[in-house]
Structure 1
């Protein structure tokens, strides 16, 4: 599968899932995909590979409780990416400066 066909398949999948969950129009799929991929990459490389999808799920849960879930998801993703960047996987805590 070429990168362009992979991107097309992902876009179609996100649109289908959004429709199935009643989220059509609630999020910009391209921006959301980029945000989630960046977040999960940060977690997978800085913390733990299996932690990446779990983290995305937890951010989705938290954002769903907010007054503006799309804005909250973006803010939470940035916050958690910073946490992952500073994470010490050896000690399971934030790295000391």
Structure 2
């Protein structure tokens, strides 16, 4: 089975009718894998497909969306092993000892 057969069979299994520019998708996935991290490749392809489907995009629009995603991946400058900002536990200062009784509040 070749890639074209796989695309046809998968489209049938997922009950979607669409033309797939596999070269475009593979190029985008490669750029995401090389510039972001390997696991970004399938996620990027998925999100491109999701955006295309949500917007009922024609092939020209899919190419435009892929171009935007590729530009982002090519300009990505964060190391793949950088911690996720949501996972960093920043120390929160304890201000419980501060006396707020003399504070003036304007209404």
Aligned counterparts of 1:41 and 1:15: Cα–Cα separation in 2:
22
Deviation at 1:89, TM superposition (A): 2.7
Aligned counterparts of 2:59 and 2:53: Cα–Cα separation in 1:
8
Aligned pairs, how many?
81
Task: Give the aligned partner of residue 66 of structure 1.
Answer: 55
Normalized against structure 2, the TM-score is what? 0.65
Q: Is the 8 A contact 1:35 1:74 kept in 2?
A: yes
- Kindly report structure 1 stretches of 4+ aligned residues shifted beyond 4 Å: none
Q: Structure 2, unaligned stretches of length 5 or more?
A: 83-107
Aligned counterparts of 2:28 and 2:57: Cα–Cα separation in 1:
19
Which structure shows the bigger proportion of residues in helix conformation?
1
Aligned counterparts of 1:68 and 1:52: Cα–Cα separation in 2:
21
Task: Give the aligned partner of residue 71 of structure 2.
Answer: 82
Q: Structure 1, unaligned stretches of length 5 or more?
A: 1-7, 93-97
1:17-76 alpha-carbon deviations (Å, 9 max, x no partner): 11222333x21x4xx110110000000001110011011111111111114353332211
Normalized against structure 1, the TM-score is what? 0.71
Q: Is the 8 A contact 1:43 1:51 kept in 2?
A: yes
Which structure shows the bigger proportion of residues in strand conformation?
1
Find the structure with the greater CA-based Rg. Answer: 2
